[in-house]
Amino acid sequence: MNDHHADNNERNSQPSGRSGPSDDLVVDEAALADYLLAHPTFFERHPQVIAELRLPDPHGGRVLSLHERQLTQVREQCALLERRLASLMAVGHENDALAACLQRFTRDLLLTREAGRMPARVIAGLRDQFTVPMAGMRLWGVAHEHASLAEAAATDADTRALADDLHAPYCGLTGRYAQTAWLGEEAGDARSMAMIALRRGALPRAFGLIVLGSPDPDRFQTGMATDVLERIGEIASAALSRLLAPEADADASAA
C-alpha cells in the first residue's frame, strides 16, 4: 500500500461527527497495532499525533507524552539489567569466596604431617573455613596406631551401610538420624544436617562419614546444591585415607 492509499484509508477509517462513544468498542486493537507496525511513516505524516498523544504513567496518576513514556521504559529496562548484573556479580563473589575457602582447607590438610592429627584438622577446617557450627565424623578400618582416636570409635553396621549408600551428600532435617549424636554437646540444638561419605575415589565402599549440623533449619536444605560439599568430601577423603589399615585399603580396592 502506497502513502496515497494509506492517507485515503486513514481518512476513511476516521469516525464522523455523528459517531458516539460506543464506536470505540468496535476498534480492533490488534489490527490497529499491526497497521502502525506495517506503516512506520504514519507518524511522519501526522506528527501532531505524537505531540498530542498522552499515556498513563505506570508509577502514578499523571499522564506522559509518548517520548516521556519511552524514556520511562528505557530507564526501567536499564534498572532491570543493573539488578541482574548485580545478582550475577554477587554470585561470582560468593563463588570466589568458596574457592578461597576450599584452597585454605586443602592447604591446611597438606601441611598436616602427622596422620593422627588429620581428623581434628578436618573438623577444625570445616568450622573455621566454612563457618559450620557443628561437625563430627566416624572412621572405620583405620590402622592399629590410630584406633584410639575418638573419630575411630565403633560404629554399627547400619551406619556403614548408610555411608555406602550415600553417593551424594545428604542435606535435610535431623529428625531420624542417630548420627547427630556425633555433634557432641551441641547436638540437641541441630535443626538441619548434612552427611558426607568418605571413600577412595569412586569405590563403592565408604570408610567413614562426616556429619555437619546447624541450629538454622534452612542451612542444609533438602534439594540444595551440594557441589561444595562434594568437593569437601573428596578433599577430606584423600587426606583421611592416610589413617586406613593396609588390609582395609586393599578390601576397599577389591570391592
- Kindly report the CATH number assigned to the domain that includes residue 137: 3.30.450.40
Asked whether residue 144 falls in the same domain as residue 89, the answer is: no
In a domain, 134, yes or no: yes
Task: Please report which confidence band the pLDDT of residue 12 belongs to, taking 50, 70 and 90 as the band edges.
Answer: very low
Find the domain containing 142 and state its range. Answer: 112-254
pLDDT at 78 over 50: yes
What mean pLDDT is reported for the chain? 84
Asked whether residue 249 falls in the same domain as residue 191, the answer is: yes
pLDDT at 111 over 90: yes
Model confidence, pTM: 0.67
Number of domains making up the chain: 2
Asked whether residue 164 falls in the same domain as residue 66, the answer is: no
Last residue within a domain, chosen from 70, 95, 120? 95
Q: Which three cell numbers stand for residue 22?
A: 460506543
Task: List the single range of 59-73, 119-133, 178-192 with lowest mean pLDDT.
Answer: 59-73
DSSP E strands in the chain: the ranges are: 54-56, 63-65, 134-139, 170-173, 192-198, 208-214
Task: List the single range of 15-24, 42-51, 127-136, 226-235 with lowest mean pLDDT.
Answer: 15-24
In a domain, 73, yes or no: yes
CA neighbor of 166 nearest in space, from 141, 139, 131, 203: 203
Last residue within a domain, chosen from 95, 122, 144? 95
pLDDT per residue as tens digits for the range 26-44: 568 888 888 888 888 887 7
Task: Please report which confidence band the pLDDT of residue 11 belongs to, taking 50, 70 and 90 as the band edges.
Answer: very low
SS3 63: strand
Asked whether residue 80 falls in the same domain as residue 130, the answer is: no
* CA gyration radius, the chain: 34
Average pLDDT of 185-202? Answer: 92
Last residue within a domain, chosen from 95, 128, 146? 95
